[in-house]
């Protein structure tokens, strides 16, 4: 009798749980449909999905991500307008917006990275983090597009990505140096701050990629010396990278003066 009662209670519990789950899904579906209808009305009223998203993001910031998700499903051809408007209005949601856009494959990852950085340059760290996390196989192109789009933040970009992908640090720096060599010393400084024991790789890579820019070699050596790399090590690393004795001596003399 007790076993039968226990079984009855157990079955009732399972049924109740299933019903609650079904009700929950129904509520979610109904809520989604309401949001979709609301967005479509806003687009009709504003005659622009970008303006509609900007307005919604301003009035309902906590709903920004879900409305971007819905908008990209309904208006995929307008992805540029949607992403730019959403990030401009709610930059705090940048990472989630970039991830949604990449996952929905509305465009190539590098194109989304460029668009997102242009929408809010100060959130470049979040953009490259989300992109590299979603498509690590495109890391090289993500670095290239990011530093070209926002060269003033190249040091932050390589630092963020190298911290997350330490085994790719040399490749990240190499790609960044090829793309924006004129800010090489800042990237060297940023990487040595988090990888002080990788000075050889950082310096040799930076110097090697700067051989056609003599003044950049001097700045890179100065940056490395300021970061604590000794003259003896700097000389060795720079020679390994292909710098001449004259270039190295000039940089060290300039620094010491």
User: How confident is the model over 146-166, as a mean pLDDT?
Assistant: 97
Least Cα distance to 120 among 148, 147, 90, 141 occurs for 90
Least Cα distance to 166 among 195, 133, 187, 137 occurs for 195
Average predicted confidence (pLDDT) for the chain = 88
pLDDT at 247: 86
Q: Give the model's confidence band at 195: pLDDT under 50 very low, under 70 low, under 90 confident, else very high.
A: very high
CB-CB contact of 133 with 100 (8 Å)? no
Output the DSSP codes for 163-230: HH-GGGHHHHHHHHHHH-GGGHHHHHHHHHHH-GGGHHHHHHHHHHHTTT-HHHHHHHHHHHHHTT--
Per-residue pLDDT reduced to its tens digit, 67-93: 999 999 999 999 999 999 999 999 999
Q: What share of the chain is helix, strand, coil (3-state, %, to 5)?
A: 90, 0, 10
Higher-scoring residue by pLDDT: 214, 148: 148
Per-residue pLDDT reduced to its tens digit, 19-34: 444 444 444 677 888 9
Per-residue pLDDT reduced to its tens digit, 125-153: 999 999 999 999 999 999 999 999 999 99
Q: Which residues contact 187 (CB under 8 A, 6 or more apart)?
A: 154, 155, 158, 173, 176, 177, 206
CA 217 to chain centroid, in Å, comes to 28
CA atoms within 13 A on the CB side of 62: 0
């Amino acid at each position: 009798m007790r076993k039968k009662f226990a079984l009855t209670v157990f079955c009732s519990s399972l049924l109740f749980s299933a019903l609650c789950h079904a009700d929950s899904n129904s509520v979610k579906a109904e809520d989604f449909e309401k949001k979709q209808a609301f967005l479509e009305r806003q687009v009709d009223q504003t005659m622009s999905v970008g303006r509609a998203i900007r307005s919604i993001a301003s009035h309902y910031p906590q709903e920004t991500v879900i409305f971007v998700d819905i908008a990209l499903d309904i208006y995929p051809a307008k992805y540029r307008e949607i992403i730019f408007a959403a990030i401009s209005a709610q930059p705090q949601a940048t990472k989630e917006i970039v991830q949604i856009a990449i996952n929905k494959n509305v465009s190539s990852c590098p194109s989304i990275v460029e668009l997102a950085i242009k929408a809010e340059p100060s959130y470049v760290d979040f953009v490259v983090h989300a992109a590299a996390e979603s498509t690590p196989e495109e890391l090289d192109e993500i670095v290239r597009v990011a530093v070209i789009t926002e060269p003033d933040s190249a040091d932050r970009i390589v630092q963020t990505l190298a911290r997350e992908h330490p085994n790719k640090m040399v490749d990240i720096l190499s790609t960044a140096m090829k793309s924006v060599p004129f800010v090489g010393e800042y990237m060297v400084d940023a990487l040595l701050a988090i990888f002080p024991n990788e000075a050889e790789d950082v310096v040799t890579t930076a110097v090697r990629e700067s051989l056609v820019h003599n003044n950049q070699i001097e700045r890179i050596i100065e940056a490395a010396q300021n970061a604590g790399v000794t003259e003896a090590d700097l000389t060795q690393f720079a020679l390994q990278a292909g710098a001449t004795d004259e270039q190295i001596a000039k940089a060290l003399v300039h620094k010491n003066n």
